[in-house]
Structure 1
């Protein structure tokens, strides 16, 4: 049996919606299906100020542009994140300032943020690793006390809940990913959520190549012209058609993935060597969308050998991120591996287990059966 790391889930409505989009002859952004997606996100989660983008990377860049991030600015973020989080500010001339993560959930360690704030700090970008919400209320409290902006990188957490509200409604800006590897996908896609209403009109200018075309479409003026900076931050409507079919199946997708995560938790709890393994600590204020299940093994060597042996059994288990501070770009920015010892240690021991919405019982049982044998040989 071959168990992939990820497999995109098909709801059954994708082809019908894409076909309707094709028939409309309006395939570019901000047409029928884009509007339907935004209406659905508002109906389901109360999300307003949603701008559908070609990727979460584009959403992060658009957000940084909207907030005026530029040369001389510093932006605090975890080192344990994807490159897009840092590149979104680096391309505008700002400096990413890397913060430690907390072993409880691999998210930014809130207790370490204040010590990194300087007169140059302009923004904080926390992420939701594995779909588990970060401690956003505490982060917002710090940001508000220092007059800082918060752009929440929710690439992995669409549908996750923080205190019974979707993760992404609490920060000034939030960004989602609908990439092929995410729970809800249109192949490539994302969204910037502008929670501050006064920023939304300018966001529409940035999205439309720096033009006020949105005002013309609303009938507020006869022509549109160049009024601001901007780029093409528009998701094609034909991709929005696919995305709508995915978001409409959110409850089904979340239920299946959360069941898999719970089965992984039960499996670990019943291992005789469970005390040698770390897993994400569950929090009653946070409900994950079941994006990832990971283990943190005792050493990097054991982690690497585990992945190699799983691969020999045709089971795809992966490492997490290579910390940005110790990457070649991080080194170019002046960071050293030893600057963030907790991040470096955890990143070297983490392994992500295969999980996807359509994972069968046979695939899951084959995975944990082989994983049990391999871990037993490595840990006992």
Structure 2
């Protein structure tokens, strides 16, 4: 049996909606299925406004535009994240200021943020690693104290909650991913930008439509549209929005399957965590995860290598996680060295991401469980 790191889950609805969208002759963004998907998201999660985009990357770029990130502006973010997070600000001339992570969550260490703030700081850009929300209320307190904007990279955390509030509803801006590797898949690629600043919503509409006020024409306010703002083509095709709607309507069923995967992994690894052999995330009452992923930090990089090698021999595909950005070639160009963030470097050398997809609940989960237990016994006895 082959267990992939990720496998897109298909429900009974996507094909029907996608075919309907194809035959509608209205394939571009902000058409019927896009509007239905947005209505669904607002109705279920109460978002102030959400813009469907071609990717989470483009959603964060749009957010950086809204925040007026300009050359020389500093943005505080974790080094342990994907390149899209940092590129969203670098392409506008922003300077990344990398922060350490919390070893218990692998999210940004909130206690280290304030010491990095300077007169040039404009934004804090935390992520929600593996679907686990960052400590967004504490981050907002810091941002409000220093008059900073917060854009939360919720690429992995759509559908989760922090202190009873949906992820993405608390910061000024939040970006979701609907890529095929995420819980909700818009046919391969897709994203969304939540804008929780009422005064910026009209600007966001203009930016999404290539910097034009086409929205006012669609709303019947004007007869012709003009170039009025900076912008780009930040629109999700209605064909992909149709696929996304099908997934969103089945979100609870998908989440239930993913929860089964989480529970099995806790069964496999908790005793080793308690024995001090490795580390896993321990659920916290104020954070409701979306069961996006499951990570394990081994005691040594050698044991991580043994674990990964043995599993790959039997076609169970595990992954190393992120390579830290601060010690990457681009990070070095910004003046960073590996030793600048020793916790991030240490964890990145020992962490493993486990196979995780909804379909595992139907096939492959028991096979994965039994073989991981065997490998762990080989390593630790």
Does the TM-score normalized on the shorter chain lie above 0.5?
yes
- State the SS of the aligned residue for 2:358: coil
Deviations 1:153-173 (A, max 9, x none): 000011011111211000000
Deviations 1:153-205 (A, max 9, x none): 00001101111121100000000000010010011000011011110000011
- The alpha carbon displacement at 1:271 in A equals 5.0
For residue 110 of structure 2, what is the aligned residue in structure 1? 110
Deviation, 1:269, is 2.3
Q: Counterpart in 1 of 2:278? A: 277
Structure 2: tracts of 5 or more residues without a match: none
The alignment status of 1:287 with 2:288, answered yes or no, reads: yes
Matched, 1:324 2:325: yes
Structure 1 vs Structure 2 CA RMSD: 1.2
Tell me the distance in 1 between the aligned counterparts of 2:319 and 2:295. Answer: 9
Taking structure 1 as the reference length, what is the TM-score of the superposition? 0.98
- State the shift of 1:300 in Å: 1.2
Inter-partner Cα distance in structure 2 for 1:226 and 1:133: 38
Conservation of the 8 A alpha-carbon contact between 2:13 and 2:246: yes
**TM-fit CA distance, 1:305:** 2.2
Partner of 1:39: 39
Give the CA deviation at 1:362: 5.2
Is residue 69 from structure 1 mapped to residue 53 from structure 2 by the alignment? no
Q: Specify the SS of the correspondent of 1:325.
A: coil
Distance 1:354 1:334 in 2: 35
1:32-63 residue CA offsets vs partner (Å, 9 max, x unmatched): 00100010001111012111000000000000
What per-residue deviation string (whole Å, max 9, x for no partner) do you get for residues 51-88 of structure 1? 10000000000000111001010000000000000000
Deviations 1:12-31 (A, max 9, x none): 10111011111110000000
Q: Name the residue aligned to 1:88.
A: 88
- Residue 294 of structure 1, CA deviation: 1.1
Preserved contact between residue 257 and residue 361 of structure 2 (Cα < 8 Å): no
Match of 2:217 in 1: 216
CA contact (8 A) 2:260 2:361 kept: no
Poorly superposed stretches of 4+, deviation over 6 Å: none
Cα 1:274/1:370, change in 2 over 3 Å: farther
Query: 1:222 offset after TM fit, Å?
Result: 1.0
Q: CA deviation at 1:360?
A: 3.8
Judge conservation of contact 1:131–1:292 (CA < 8 Å) in 2.
yes
1:4 correspondence with 2:4: yes
Alignment partner of 1:337 is 2:308: no
Retained in 2: the 8 A contact 1:168–1:193? yes
Match of 1:97 in 2: 97
Scaled by the length of structure 2, the TM-score of the pair is 0.98
Tell me how many residue pairs correspond in the alignment: 380
Which position in structure 1 is the counterpart of 2:166?
Answer: 166
The superposition leaves residues 226-276 of structure 1 with CA deviations (integer Å, 9 ceiling, x where unpaired) of 111110000000100000001111111111112211221122224598430
- Tell whether the 8 Å contact from 2:272 to 2:278 is kept in structure 1 after alignment: no
Shift of 1:367: 1.3
When residues 198 and 370 of structure 1 are mapped into structure 2, their CA distance, relative to the original with a 3 A threshold, is same
Aligned CA distance change for structure 1 residues 24 and 2 (closer, same or farther; 3 Å) = same
Hey, what's the Cα distance between the residues in 2 that align with 1:274 and 1:211? 59
Alignment correspondent of 1:202: 203
Map of 2:247 onto structure 1: 246
In structure 2, how many angstroms separate the alpha carbons of the residues matched to 1:112 and 1:270? 31
3-state SS in 2 of match to 1:368: helix
